[in-house]
Amino acid sequence: MPVLNQTPSNIPEFSVSELSGAIKKTLENGFSQVRVRAECGRVTIAKSGHIYFDLKDDKAVINAIIWAGTARNLKTKPEEGLEVIATGRITTFEGQSRYQIIIDTIEPAGMGAILAQLEERRKKLAAEGLFDETRKKAIPYLPKTIGVITSPTGAVIRDILHRITERFPSHILLWGVLVQGDKAAAQIVHAVEGFNALSPNGETPRPDLLIVARGGGSIEDLWCFNEESVVRAVAASEIPIISAVGHETDTTLIDYAADLRAPTPTGAAEKAVPVRAELDAYLSSVEGRLKSALLRRLNNAKLELNAIQSNFPKGQDLFAYQAQQLDNIELRLLPALQSQISKANNLFAKTGTKFGTHLLGQDLRLKKQNLSALENRLAQGVKSTLRHEIIKIERQKDAATQVFGRLSLAFKQNTNSLTVKLDSLGNRLNILDYKNVLKRGFALVQDKNNQIIKSAEAAKKAHELNIIFADSGIIAQIKPQKPEQGNLF
């Protein structure tokens, strides 16, 4: 059998360890600083704090490690599915013939990746119920103290203070924090928890409303408001929180966790306090409604009272009958007087010279007495009737008192005017007393039968005339008359 004689090689022989060591040296020298774009695979965080995960694309996988010391300072931590750009160096794990990348920095690869990461986180926190509507607390209508968490300098706090002053001057507690950078999230969490830890009646009163605010910026600038710790602190706050981060188009995760999201810091101030002037105006309008409601109620009561009163006899109705009686009496009185006068005339004519006019006067005086007696009786009669009515009325409700006042006044006026009328009728009677006429130089002419002669024609026909003067009468004979002699008087 031929012996296979292999040509001895001059290639040096390595032990496995030597070989592995050589490969390690080659890889570490050749790939001491690499940047790799990849999607994160399964992520494992060891108890030691080291993070083990895969970086992969559609064809290959490479193991990646972030040592705990590095991990603590990383802004972006690997999450499964996250597309990243990792910077690090290649090394080998000799025990298993593996190579791996030790990562120094890791950052999300591009906007899409950032948003994807944000969305992943949002879904995760939403699944925990942190954004549930039922968790939202009501914003107080008029907060006593408002805690503001933002940068103590700059436009944001100025805008907020300005708008609050303008709307409703309030007590503001500012907790100054960094609003971007690595330390921002921790400070914001601390401020939210700090405000919540205050006692409502303590030296520094616990606010009844918080505003977490920041001005506009890039998504990286606003990133601290997407941090899980911040979102959790806001969701856990017992004090209602209004978030106002960036511009209207920026939405950070804190906006989902806050009880109310304002588009801008100024908007947060507007949602925090009402406008005092508007409240003033509204209060006045409510007061106006209150007053007019009471007035309406009082008017209704007045109407009810009037309705009750209308069931009582009215003043004019009470006196209508009496007034009519008065009118009747008055109407009958004048003809009665006139008929008395004419009777007196007749008597006078009948008595002629046989009776002195003083008798007529006596007669008239008697009639005048009768008249005044009639007047008295009339007034008494009216009075007693009215008094009777008034007694009846006084038994009615007190509410009618006012009406009764008017009634008794009307009563007085009625009787007064009756007296005046009767007086004037007496005067007219006096004037009609022809004795007074005779006293003024007139004479009364009668024929033999005591008929009054009213014309020259009648006188011519009579043979004798009784001419009655104021003192006494004479008998005159009629002589035949010449036409031009005319009237005897």
Partner 1 sequence: MPATDEIDIKSLSFEAALRELEEITRSLETGEASLEDSIKLFERGSALKMHCDEKLKSAQMRVEQIVETQNGIKTKPYSDDKN
User: Given the complex with partner 1, which of 300 and 408 has the nearer CB atom?
Assistant: 300
User: Given the complex with partner 1, which of 290 and 431 has the nearer CB atom?
Assistant: 290
* Least Å from the CB of residue 196 to partner 1: 12
CA distances from 187 to 54, 151, 184, 191, 260 (A): 33, 11, 5, 6, 21
**CA separation for the pair 82, 40 (Å, rounded):** 5
User: Given the complex with partner 1, which of 131 and 175 has the nearer CB atom?
Assistant: 175
Which part of the chain contacts partner 1 (CB under 8 A), choosing from 295-303, 338-346, 438-446, 471-479? 295-303
* Least Å from the CB of residue 392 to partner 1: 30
* Least Å from the CB of residue 390 to partner 1: 30
CA distances from 66 to 31, 45, 114, 219, 438 (A): 17, 9, 20, 25, 154
DSSP class of residue 452 equals: B
Q: Per CB under 8 A, does 27 bind partner 1?
A: no
Yes or no: say if 427 and 371 are a contact pair by the CB < 8 Å rule.
Answer: no
Helices and strands in the chain, H and E counts: 14, 13
User: Given the complex with partner 1, which of 164 and 233 has the nearer CB atom?
Assistant: 164
User: Of 74, 126, 174, 341, which one interacts with partner 1 (CB under 8 A)?
Assistant: 174
The alpha carbon of residue 267 and the mean position of all alpha carbons in its chain are separated, in whole angstroms, by 26
User: Given the complex with partner 1, which of 194 and 217 has the nearer CB atom?
Assistant: 194
Residue 34 β-bridge partners:
88
Q: Per CB under 8 A, does 306 bind partner 1?
A: no
Residue 99 β-bridge partners:
92
Q: Per CB under 8 A, does 82 bind partner 1?
A: no
User: Given the complex with partner 1, which of 84 and 172 has the nearer CB atom?
Assistant: 172
Q: Per CB under 8 A, does 279 bind partner 1?
A: yes
Yes or no: say if 65 and 77 are a contact pair by the CB < 8 Å rule.
Answer: no
Residue 445 β-bridge partners:
467
User: Given the complex with partner 1, which of 102 and 173 has the nearer CB atom?
Assistant: 173
Angle at 486 between CA 482 and CA 489, to 5 degrees: 130
Under rule CB under 8 A, how many of the chain's residues touch partner 1?
A: 41
CA distances from 438 to 336, 342, 464 (A): 24, 17, 20
Binding site for partner 1 (CB under 8 A): 140-142, 152-154, 157-158, 161, 164-165, 168-176, 191, 194, 198, 203-204, 276, 279-280, 283, 286-287, 289-291, 293-294, 296-298, 300-301
